[in-house]
Structure 1
Amino acid sequence: MNTPKLDLQDRVALITGAGNGIGRETARQMAERGAIVGVNDLKPEFVEAVVDEIRAAGGRAFGVVQNIASREGIQSAVAHARAEGGRLDILVNNAAWVRYQAVPEIQPETLERMLDVGFKAVVWGTQAAAAAMDPQRGGAIVNVASTAALRSTPNSLVYSGIKAAILGLTRAAAAELGARGIRVNAVCPSAVPTEGTQRNRNSERDAFRVARTPLGRLGTVEDIARGICFLASDEAGFITAQTLAVDGGVTFTNI
């Protein structure tokens, strides 16, 4: 494989929720850039498919089948990645479980599951990764948030709240872990077509989103993965505590 820009040669990365969508594409792109990629997902068949795809293209990857919706689960995933790769350089907190509900319809079980996967796993993953990363080499943590953390729509109270909390967590972790050479940043994708977002999309809604986006199209998983790879690479070596909106300009414009 040819090594493209944003070299991640021999870095060991763990990507949560990498069985499809943004996580899967991030795993592919990191492997193309030379990383040794730990592909995490709850479903073994998803993990196997991504690992096989990366290896078939000449990359290096290993599977981490694990439910990361608990402290023990994400700790186990991080330990697995460190043992498999011999070290840990990059953690991408990408996994999420999402339901959009109006305020009167929010149920305790929905709230708890979204918090477990979307927020608590990021807290415990950051804790575990910081302990696993070599203090001499440091490392990079990239949290996948959302433009819903910056501007919101109806029926997204829990989702928007969790993603906004991720931005605060990112800044706080960057402040604390910077002395150890660990950079912590966040990516905020706009609406991106993936398997997981299909239920909330239709042609009329997509057309509306395109019309409001200065660059005149929806984002892709490739767009988001490139932003994640950049923040994980040495090209972003003096960037930490930042939020990168990969959204075609829609968040901070009004057209």
Structure 2
Amino acid sequence: MSSAKLDLQDRVALITGAGNGIGRETARQMAARGAVVAVNDLKPEFVGAVVDEIRAAGGRAFGVVQNIATREGMQAAVEQARSEGGRFDILVNNAAWVRYQAVPDIQPDTMERMLDVGFKAVIWGIQAATAAMDAERGGAIVNVASTAALRSAPHSLVYSGIKSGILGITRAAAAELGARRIRVNAVCPSAVPTEGTQRNRNAERDAARVASTPMGRLGTVEDIARAICFLASDDAGFVTAQGLAVDGGVTFTNI
């Protein structure tokens, strides 16, 4: 596996929800930049496929099959990444479980699962990563939020609330952890075609999104992964507490 710039050489990175979509592409790109990637997902077959793909391309990766929706599961995932990797440098809080529901239809079990995977796990991840990162070297944490934290649509009350909370978590953690040389940032993707978003997409909706995007296309998992890799790298060494919209300009324009 080759890259023009190995800007993550020998860093150990844990990526949650890396069995497909943005997480999978981030794992591939970080490995291409020289990182040792701990691939997390609940499904062993997904984890194995990503690990095999990275290794076949010459990269370094190993699987971490843990349920990061609990504090104990997240701690175990971080500890496994640190133990097998020999150090711990980067955490990408990417995992999510999403359902869109109108306000009258929101159910406790749905909301609790979304909160466990998409909100609480971010806090547990930051807590575990802080303990695992070297006190002198520090590290980087990148949280995957959404443009839904910046502008919302119907049927997204819980989702938008969680992603808005991710930005608050990001800023608070950055304020507290900067003295430990730990940078904490977030990316806010717009609608990106992935396996997980397929159920909420159709040709008409995609066409409307393209028409309202200055760049004239939907984002890709490659776009988001590149932004995550940047924020995790030393090129972003003085960047922290930021929520970077990776959206082709759609959030802050009106066309």
Output the TM-score relative to the length of structure 2: 0.99
**Where does residue 97 of structure 2 map in the other structure?**
97
For 1:193 and 1:27, locate their aligned partners in 2 and report how far apart those are by CA, in whole Å: 17
**Where does residue 52 of structure 2 map in the other structure?**
52
Deviation sequence 1:156-181 (CA, Å, 0-9, x none): 00000000000000000000000000
The answer to whether the 8 A contact 1:39-1:47 is kept is: yes
The answer to whether the 8 A contact 2:6-2:32 is kept is: no
Q: Counterpart of 2:227 in 1: which secondary structure?
A: helix
Deviation at 1:2, TM superposition (A): 2.5
For 1:232 and 1:140, locate their aligned partners in 2 and report how far apart those are by CA, in whole Å: 5
The answer to whether the 8 A contact 2:6-2:34 is kept is: no
**Where does residue 61 of structure 2 map in the other structure?**
61
**Where does residue 180 of structure 1 map in the other structure?**
180
For 1:253 and 1:124, locate their aligned partners in 2 and report how far apart those are by CA, in whole Å: 35
Alignment-mate amino acid for residue 190 of structure 1: S
Superposed CA RMSD: 0.6
Structure 2: runs of 5+ lacking an equivalent: none
**Where does residue 211 of structure 2 map in the other structure?**
211
**Where does residue 222 of structure 1 map in the other structure?**
222
Q: Counterpart of 1:14 in 2: which secondary structure?
A: strand
**Where does residue 194 of structure 1 map in the other structure?**
194
For 2:146 and 2:224, locate their aligned partners in 1 and report how far apart those are by CA, in whole Å: 11
For 2:138 and 2:67, locate their aligned partners in 1 and report how far apart those are by CA, in whole Å: 26
For 1:3 and 1:206, locate their aligned partners in 2 and report how far apart those are by CA, in whole Å: 32
Deviation at 1:3, TM superposition (A): 3.0
For 1:237 and 1:187, locate their aligned partners in 2 and report how far apart those are by CA, in whole Å: 16
For 1:169 and 1:69, locate their aligned partners in 2 and report how far apart those are by CA, in whole Å: 16
Alignment-mate amino acid for residue 18 of structure 2: A
The answer to whether the 8 A contact 1:6-1:234 is kept is: no
**Where does residue 9 of structure 1 map in the other structure?**
9
- How many residue pairs match? The answer is 255
**Where does residue 122 of structure 1 map in the other structure?**
122
- Give yes or no for the alignment of 1:250 onto 2:250: yes
Deviation at 1:6, TM superposition (A): 6.0
Output the TM-score relative to the length of structure 1: 0.99
Q: Counterpart of 2:64 in 1: which secondary structure?
A: strand
CA 1:20–1:110: 2 relative to 1, 3 Å: same
- Give yes or no for the alignment of 1:241 onto 2:235: no
Q: Counterpart of 1:2 in 2: which secondary structure?
A: coil
For 1:54 and 1:4, locate their aligned partners in 2 and report how far apart those are by CA, in whole Å: 17
Deviation at 1:91, TM superposition (A): 0.1
Alignment-mate amino acid for residue 45 of structure 1: E
The answer to whether the 8 A contact 2:188-2:243 is kept is: yes
Q: Counterpart of 2:67 in 1: which secondary structure?
A: coil
Alignment-mate amino acid for residue 224 of structure 2: I
**Where does residue 38 of structure 1 map in the other structure?**
38
The answer to whether the 8 A contact 2:100-2:155 is kept is: yes
For 1:177 and 1:7, locate their aligned partners in 2 and report how far apart those are by CA, in whole Å: 23
Q: Counterpart of 1:252 in 2: which secondary structure?
A: coil
Alignment-mate amino acid for residue 75 of structure 2: Q
Deviation at 1:253, TM superposition (A): 0.4
For 1:53 and 1:109, locate their aligned partners in 2 and report how far apart those are by CA, in whole Å: 35
For 2:198 and 2:2, locate their aligned partners in 1 and report how far apart those are by CA, in whole Å: 33
